[in-house]
Amino acid sequence: MKALLLENIHSEATRILTEAGLEVDARPGALGEDELIEALQGVSLVGIRSATHLTERVIQSCPDLIAAGCFCIGTNQVNLGAAANAGVPVFNAPYSNTRSVVELAIGEIISLARRLNEKNRLMHEGVWDKSAAGSHEVRGRTLGIVGYGNIGAQLSVLAESLGMSVIFYDIADKLALGNARRCESLDELLAEADVVTLHVDGRAANKDFFGEAQFEMMKDRAIFLNLSRGHVYDVDALVRHLKSGHIAGAGLDVFPTEPKKAGSPFSSELQNIPNVILTPHVGGSTKEAQVDIGRFVAGKLLDHVNTGGTQMSVNVPQINTEPFEGTRVLHMHHNVPGVMARLNNVFANHDGNITFQTLSTRGTIGYAITDVSGEHPNLQHELAELEETIRVRVI
């Protein structure tokens, strides 16, 4: 089997897959749609980060692909429905870089409150600006977290340990940690928070959800952070509120349009505005996080190759597998009545003694794993002929 890893995925992933016997092609940058289709011919596994997009056309044009790994938290760069309909499970790393993103957020909150980036710039220019003007402690100030998932919740705990009061808003019902308080609406949070930080996912519905109206509702001289996704905020509106002085500072790690490769030119209206920290989408880019991500996602891909496991897949039914003996049949199918009876009828016609079988469903997709004693070379072909079959693989 071959694997293609793009966008500087950590060498730990290459090591794990190579030692398992796969031929790994690791490349530093992202690929466009046509380039990706060409590169994926004959490839079984693909690993990407946020700049490469697995579109419906890519997935349909690459029939050899059996699994995809997003070596990051987000999966909005993948057409998850198209992947599921092709029987391609998609895995991500929802926890591995959480601490790294949280530490960057904490560092930016302190730096912006103390205006350290401005002091640093002036010192390099030879200016001794010893002044407390506009500089504040974070202790006693209110942090408003929009999106109380893994990152938002951990940030909540660390911010509280610094003496901040924490409020949060999430569309889902989330348990508040420590003394954090849930807001009933985003408007309520914006009216109270001295610092507003976004930690929402990249779903299409979140595009431009934080715009002119939301910036207008923020407290005078509040601070704004976005370390989530570049399309969730209105850059032009943020620039207006920064230049007017309504917003005292901002920390941005993500942008609506980002270069595909390190070292590429970058341009934004946010450049050269006082008390604005711009970082090149490095929230999770620490050595510790990248090692953990490489190990975790590569392990999930390898588990699917070797056992058919889909535990923690984001788009297909999840099955946690065990080691097996004999023949294991992996059958992804349309979830319709009678499909398991037809599946087992094929096994019966081959005198296959079923030693283990499990089924999991997710919406319109069903996934059955069946262990059969002995070898049955014609099983895969006959199961592929079933009308309900999406993909069948025998290991």
Q: Is 189 in contact with 224 (CB distance < 8 Å)? A: no
Q: Are strands 354-362 and 247-252 parallel, antiparallel or unpaired?
A: unpaired
85 bridge partner residues: none
Q: Is 182 a catalytic residue?
A: no
Amino acid sitting at position 162? L
Determine what percent of the chain falls in helix, strand and coil, rounding each to the nearest 5: 35, 20, 45
Query: What is Dmax (Cα atoms) for the chain?
Result: 86
If residue 67 lies in a helix (H) or strand (E), which one and from where to where? strand 67-70
Amino acid at the residue 223: I
281 part of the active site: yes
CA distance 287 to 330: 36
- Selected catalytic residue, list 258, 334, 362, 393: 258
Hey, what amino acid is at 65? L
Name the CA dihedral angle for 328, 332, 335, 336, rounded to a multiple of 10 degrees.
-70
Catalytic residue (one of 281, 304, 328, 333): 281
Give yes or no for a contact between 189 and 165, defined as CB atoms under 8 angstroms apart: no
- Whether 350 is a known active-site residue: answer no
Rg for the chain (alpha carbons), in Å? 25
Query: Which listed residue (10, 99, 114, 229) is catalytic?
Result: 229
Active site amino acids: 229, 258, 281
